[in-house]
Amino acid sequence: MNAFDSIVAKKPRENAGAMAANRFAYQLDWGLKRLLELEEEGKPYTVIFDYQDDILVLDSDEDPQYIDFYQVKTNTAAGGWKKNQLTQVNKKKTNEKSSEPTLFDEVDADEVEEDEKYSKITKLLIHSLDFPTEARDFFFVTNANFGGTLIKGAKLNRAKELDFADLIEKARVEIKQRVKEELPEIDDGVFGYLHFIKNQMSIDDHEATVIGFLTNFINKHLPKAKVSVKPVYDTLIGEIRKRNDYETEPNSVKDLLKHKAFTKTQFHQFLKGLETFENYEVKRTAIQNVLGRYLPNNAAAKRRSILKNIDAIKENFLAYDNHEFLRLYKTIDLLFDETTGDYNEWKWAQEILTRLKCEYNFTEMHSDDFLICLILYEMC
């Protein structure tokens, strides 16, 4: 039994409530940034979105043993986070007047749309009980800084990452006390694995920040890819949003990976698709030249019909987790190695199309013009 099995077996203690729009967008962008950072690190990983917590990072995409839990919160209040905001239970705001004060009256953050059973820190650390052998580290992620009830000193104020031990002693004592009131069985040692990632991306320009991060990533790792960054960003954010929005609880590891996760293997397949954009416009022109040389003058409509598919090819390469298309593309690539003879480009493409229809089971999903265009795309 590995960490995948444990996640599927353990049902979440509570369902997420309504989320403020700014926090939702911030969480998507931060999740993409973390995914790119994991890829930079070069280690195996699986990232799970909005199940058990906002983001889970596992140490493998095949046989994970450990889970890191991330809770992403936004706060636009002046002065940043206060101690009480981390340790009290929020209730939904209503328009009804009440003479009794509530814990919500003390909250000044963007989490007012949530109805919680546990306080923020307790909800994060509770995973140490639910996953006693798999839970490793716990991260509270926020756009904001921490106020004077949590940290002191210019160095700590500037720091982007803090450990629980970096908080002032009074804050540590009171946070422990409040968490233990909610979870009497929690172990003292778990607080040593609690970390804070703060003031990392502004709530006002987090999208631009992540697009910049993605631009640098593509320039570094895919220097030959001739692709605009914004469509890549839109594709990845759309895939993360789809995983956040999927509400059915997975009943198997297969469901979990399909509907809630990014794995290193999947992400590498997507990046491989981006690599094909090397000299994209040059390829378009080369295909057009082949069609112009070998199709007769009265076949202008046929040339246009084939060439228009190049945009659909681009969309398929940009589509995340498009396994069928990547299998098709790989099959064509293999057929190039196996097909020999005295052919010009057009006859070679026709020969490969004939063999493709015999050897690939799903060619009926695509028109002949699409397949010829894809063959010429690889050829050129």
pLDDT tens profile 246-269: 989 999 999 999 999 999 998 988
Q: Is-contact 121 86, C-beta < 8 A? A: yes
d(CA 21, CA 319): 25
Residues of the chain with pLDDT under 70: 15-22, 91-116, 277-280
- pLDDT for the residue numbered 114: 53
- pLDDT for the residue numbered 282: 82
Question: How crowded is residue 362: how many other Cβ atoms within 10 Å of its Cβ?
Answer: 11
**CA–CA–CA angle 237, 240, 245 (5° rounding):** 120
| Cα-based distances in Å from 292 to 299, 308, 347, 348 | 9, 14, 14, 15
List, edge to edge, every strand of the sheet that includes 53-58: 161-163, 194-197, 135-142, 67-73, 53-58, 46-51, 261-263
d(CA 268, CA 250): 24
- pLDDT for the residue numbered 31: 96
- Residue at token pair 């778990």: 190
- pLDDT for the residue numbered 19: 58
pTM for the whole thing?
0.81
- pLDDT for the residue numbered 101: 39
- pLDDT for the residue numbered 109: 54
